[in-house]
Amino acid sequence: MSAPVAALRSEWAKLTTVRSTAWTLFAAFAVTVAFGTLVSALSNARYDDLSRQDKLAFDPAGTSFTGGVLGQLAMIAFGVMVIGGEYSTGMIRSSLAAVPRRGVFYSSKLLVASGAALVVGMVTSFVTFFAGQAALGAHSTTIGAHNVLRATLGAGLYMTLMAVFSMGVATMLRSSMLSMGVLMPFFFLVTQILVSVPGAKKVAHYLPDQAGEAMARVVRNPDVPYGPGGGLVIMLLWVAAAVLGGYLVLRGRDA
């Protein structure tokens, strides 16, 4: 058995035998679906109170994906735990002794974890879409409508990329607690504040979660200077920077 294949099998065994990672992925699914359905139901109840302009800008698909605001936090936790668990338990020493080629070790961990995140992310986005549209009633849309399927795939892909981004950050910081302490407040609080501040809004639009929001919209937000394609490019650049940074730290420092 080749070293890369053995490393992949080892990482799959780690992922499937640690209950916390499975529960974190389930939490990402549950909170995204629940919150998205709740917001969709509230939007349906209040639709008649909207102004004519707001009705024209209403995005049924994007409304159902609002649960991603919470779901991304669970995906962040998943990404951090996949990497940070190695350092917090001291397993990183054994892992690197078993797979001394750090590039093979790192890429195997990223591939296995991102594969699991992709499956969960896509299942979550489709379930969220259909649940949200059921809650929207007469104001809903269909998966075959213009750009709706693209937005649904974009929502699932964003959840996956956020997990990979978090893995890169956790590898650079080498600590679950520190990584969670940086990422959770940043995406749950700081970016939301920056977007509402006129002077910082132009910069805040290029942060990962704002790019991810653009990926999951059908009706473009006029305040955002790019569309879903631009959001994907921005998100990929953030992920690439985090993954590369993680690799450079892993390669250059002792376990």
Query: pTM of the full predicted structure?
Result: 0.92
103-118 pLDDT, tens digit per residue, is: 888 999 999 999 999 9
- Tell me the residue type at 15: L
> Nearest to residue 117, comparing CAs of 152, 166, 84?
166
Helices (H) and strands (E) in the chain, counts: 13, 0
Q: 130 falls in which pLDDT band (50, 70, 90)?
A: very high
Number of domains in the chain: 1
Question: Residue 140: inside a domain, yes or no?
Answer: yes
* Per-residue confidence (pLDDT) for residue 255, from 0 to 100: 58
What's the CA gap between 229 and 231, in Å, rounded?
5
Q: Please, are residues 218 and 239 in contact by the beta-carbon 8 Å criterion?
A: no
Please provide the average confidence, as pLDDT, over all residues in the chain. Answer: 90
Question: Residue 182: inside a domain, yes or no?
Answer: no
* Per-residue confidence (pLDDT) for residue 69, from 0 to 100: 87
Q: 159 falls in which pLDDT band (50, 70, 90)?
A: very high
171-219 pLDDT, tens digit per residue, is: 999 888 999 999 999 888 888 888 888 778 888 899 999 999 999 999 8
Q: 254 falls in which pLDDT band (50, 70, 90)?
A: low
Q: What's the number of CA atoms in the CB half-sphere (13 Å) around residue 211?
A: 20
Provide the residue range defining the domain that includes 47: 3-176+187-252
* Per-residue confidence (pLDDT) for residue 48, from 0 to 100: 85
Min mean pLDDT across 42-56, 88-102, 127-141, 241-255 is at: 88-102
Decide if pLDDT at 2 tops 80.
Answer: no
- Which of the two residues, 236 and 5, has the higher pLDDT score? 236
DSSP state of 49: G
* Per-residue confidence (pLDDT) for residue 163, from 0 to 100: 96
Question: Residue 181: inside a domain, yes or no?
Answer: no
- Tell me the residue type at 33: V
* Per-residue confidence (pLDDT) for residue 90, from 0 to 100: 79
What's the CA gap between 79 and 50, in Å, rounded?
39
Contacts 24+ apart (CB under 8 A), 188-195: 188/73
26-45 pLDDT, tens digit per residue, is: 999 999 999 999 999 999 99
In this structure, what is the dihedral angle of CA atoms 74, 75, 81, 83, given to the nearest 10 degrees? -160
Q: 1 falls in which pLDDT band (50, 70, 90)?
A: low
Query: Which tokens belong to 20?
Result: 């916390």
What's the CA gap between 168 and 182, in Å, rounded?
13
What's the CA gap between 231 and 189, in Å, rounded?
20
